[in-house]
Chain A
Amino acid sequence: MDIDFQKLLDGVLNKDVRLTSRAITLVENENPESVSMLKKLFKHTGNAKIIGITGPPGSGKSTLTDKLAKAARHQGKTVGIVAVDPTSPFTGGAILGDRVRMQEISTDPGVFIRSMGTRGQLGGLAKATMSAVRVLDAYGCDYIFIETVGVGQSEVDIIKLADLVCIVLIPGMGDDIQSIKAGIMEIGDIFTINKCDREGVERLYTELNMMLDLRDSSEVRPPVLKTIAQTGEGVSEMLEEADKLFYNMKESGKLQKRRKRNLKIEVENILTSIFVKKVNKVAAETGLMDDYADKMSKKESDPFTVAEDILNKL
């Protein structure tokens, strides 16, 4: 399908599902028309509440996102979901399986679900996640949930995108909780203990609260919530809590501050991406990469010198 950015833009703003999904594809593929579209789209964004859902694999992020979407729909709000799953570093392929847990809402016209592969991006998100979120924001979603890949310790990119971040944990992971304290545990605005019908909930609840009580008291203390996503228990309360937090952040100016910070980061990322592409192009054009590799393996040169050589050709 040949498509220009004006048509895409109109499609998104007029809530055309097919054109909106096409717009996201072009954004993901870094199509030049999509950049023109994103530029025009920008002033139509900023109305959605962007909520990040992150946590270890199997903690119930997809199911929880499904139920949160349903709770938002009960209030008559529209929902966008961007669900990220890992891309194979070897083949570039991916199995995107988050929709499996989102059956009931999948035909609701008030819900737009989009699965994305990370496509080489580390940090728990896909490179084009922010742009996809923008498209859904302009499309008119009241809430946008970003579901990250199952994360370990340091995949904290979600804070650079979301207005607020929910960390989903499950009981019985024992020492894992300790080990993730340093990275991901620092970025939560809300902590949710999911699968609360399992053993060990109280212990985790206490541990989390103890950890949070040790934080800098000038910061807003994140609430610790309990849910059973499978049955929906505690989920509407979680959404209420998110709304309350969102409201407070808006009132206190924290939301605006966070969004500004995120925009700065986005510009840096765009610059890096443009720069890297340019450098890689120059490196490829030298046709010397194999020679460089030979020299380095014979210890006649080293990676730093090679990098400087290539930079000097810019």
Chain B
Amino acid sequence: MTTPKKLSPVERIKTESHGLRGTLKESLLDEITGSLREDDQSLIKLHGMYQQDDRDRREERTAKKLEWLYSYMVRLRLPGGFMTSAQWQSLHHIAGEHSTGVIKITTRQTIQLHGIIKSHLKPTLKAFDLQGLDSIAACGDVNRNVICSAHPNQSPAHKEIFQYAEKISLMTLPKTRAYYEIWLDEEQLADRNEDDPLYQDRYLPRKFKIAIAIPPNNDVDVFTNDIGLIAVVENNQLKGFNIAVGGGLGTTHGNEQTYPRLGTLIGSLDTEEKILKAVYEVITIQRDYGDRSDRKLARLKYTLDRIGVDAFKKELEHRCGFTLDTVRPFEFTDRKDFYGWQPGPDGKWHYTLFVENGRVLDDENVKLKTALYEIAKTDKVNFRFTGNQNVILSDIDDSDKDTIDLLLEQYALIQHTSQAGPVRKNAMACVAFNTCPLALAEAQRYLPSLISKIEPLLAKYNLQEEEISVRMTGCPNGCARPYAAEIGFVGTAYGRYNLHIGGDKLGERLNTKFKESLDESQILETLNELFAIFKNEKSGNETFGDFSHRKWISKN
């Protein structure tokens, strides 16, 4: 056997943290700095927060004898991306009072607030707590926010399936009360049993993600998750789930050992008990077998490839005490949001609103934030966030539909949604600058303007109605899932992107790097050529992704 490798430093921080407490309380009291002590910066992630700094302002602040502009990003734990009107109203106020004011809908159906300074953290989390919201385990080496196909009209069984997101989320919550003590001033009791059979004191080797898809829509990109559950619905009845394991996208430039991977289907399960048990045991396998020395190779996808799928499945069945059934047939036909009004199976109405890159704010064109606040004030809607960074105003009674429609009209949101072209409406970009410490290039601040330049190219070839999925990230970590797009832009340096093509439309085939480190004019030039060829040579309804794959990728 190989000699045991040195544990990565984060491992020590986790195990010595006394249930994720570390010295967070002391760090918060340290008035001279807006940052946390180094170890606490790792621990705070498991409480759903990241220490960041405004990267645009570093030099100038240093010259002003100020430390970097440290602030915190808070990410909510929001299983399935569901929120009530009342919760949105307080979110609106909390964002205004404590953060930059921008509400960011993420690619995993939750909300992030940025720019919260240290002294505002506790007030922020307390305010969320009053609304029954928390950020526990939204980040860090634990199971993250569980996502689920968002639209209630997806299936009459949507409600039942959706509840699995909540169940799995609760099952995988860390047992420590640290969050309540540190942020909500709960008293620390010495004799409380905090034994955590799932996480023990080491937590997972790396982040862990679970998604639930309801065919035929793969809006959650189910195969990019560590565990993907695909609902099996027959005659409007939930019959169980297919289970895929080992999806994940993050890579590192120049590290050949890293790669994006789609999940592998290993079987199906038919009862709630078995489903939860299987999910639980996949996590324990990763806990026990995952690489704890090299964080770059610690995700389940690498563990799986190291062990082998068959051995993995055997271990899983062993731990579960039952065998998995064979994979049940399913088909995805879409991976997108259906904008506008849609009726649900129970007679309720749902309006899917386009939110470019998930950024809810008022700008000179649209007062999106104000509009959503006014809509929330009617108390007649629920908010459901989608894996494509949009929001569904949902569960609206027939009698209330006009009221909401009027507000949508009044704030020109209907126009805003319908006027955006198909490419823009299907596009995603990650946060990147100015808050993401890992960003190499811009993403959400840049993609909108790039799309404005791509659209005319498409129009030139009369391709403007093609729903080509375009996704951009500021680095190879893949937060906007660019490797699962038809056109993926992956930042390599400021203003430069690798161009990936050949992914399919449904998230079942990854794309491939086609060109490296292009600047904007090279991007446009390349796309111009590709579109011209696509226009001339595509067969029938062939999508750009499939065509690219056939034409430029599979041949190589």
Q: Do A and B share a complex?
A: no
A residues sitting closer than 8 Å to B (CB atoms) are none
Chain B residues within CB distance 8 Å of chain A: none
